[in-house]
Structure 1
């Protein structure tokens, strides 16, 4: 599959996040952020700490290190939360939105309670 250009990355990311059970959006640190209950699983980063457009998300153990090592032009260790294994995903490069959807769902699975995971899998 050919990656798509980053036409409206915020809108596309928002749609992916809000499609998951019981997700809410609100600003946190000045950026759109998606929550499951009170727990953050994805945060948009529009030039938040550098000149890039990206998002930061929870990630299963070991995924951050693997993806950053394999594709440093697409993935990075975000500030503040990178030490906890969170993954940074650049959105100012050609984006494979199917892959981003998988990454967002994985982030949701890291923080969502079991009852919501059962709903997602049901």
Structure 2
């Protein structure tokens, strides 16, 4: 297992308020990188990919350089739409509802917030989803 320092601290600083602002969400080290969970379900996972050791991520992202990637859950139709736009999105080789994106200095953090809130809502119990919906403006 690696430590949270394996991902850029500024990316963690951007993700923590998004993820930990969701009801009962918590952060923990993953087998590599950091993940955020609701109950025992992972709704977001951030890691730095070394292509020599994490080939599935690097191959899916189309790179042979170390990169930081975020994976999360999304409806299949939305995955297809995001993949049609291409960069920074990619489809990992597992899970029909899993989507990945490369995180870098060009990342749209408002979009990330929306995507991770949706990922959380796909996995959270209904009573927690209702709390998210009640706190969302509009």
| Shorter-chain TM band | 0.7 to 0.9
For the pair 1:88 / 2:90, whether they are aligned, the reply is: no
Instruction: Tell me if structure 2 keeps the 8 A contact 1:62–1:85.
Output: no
Per-residue deviation, 1:80: 3.2
| Cross-structure match for 2:61 | none
Q: So what's the TM-score if we normalise by structure 2?
A: 0.75
Residues in 2 aligned to 1:65 and 1:86: alpha-carbon distance in whole angstroms: 11
**How many residues get paired?**
114
| Cross-structure match for 1:25 | 27
| Cross-structure match for 1:9 | 11
Per-residue deviation, 1:7: 8.3
Out of 91, 101, 126, the position equivalent to 1:114 is 126
| Cross-structure match for 2:115 | 103
RMSD: 1.8
**Higher helix proportion (structure 1 or 2):** 2
Q: So what's the TM-score if we normalise by structure 1?
A: 0.84
Q: Computing the radius of gyration over CA atoms, which structure comes out larger, 1 or 2?
A: 2
Per-residue deviation, 1:78: 2.0
Residues in 2 aligned to 1:85 and 1:110: alpha-carbon distance in whole angstroms: 10
Out of 84, 100, 105, the position equivalent to 1:69 is 84
* Higher RCO structure (Cα 8 Å, ≥6 apart): 1
Deviations 1:19-71 (A, max 9, x none): 1000011122222101100111100021252321110001123211210122x
Residues in 1 aligned to 2:39 and 2:12: alpha-carbon distance in whole angstroms: 21
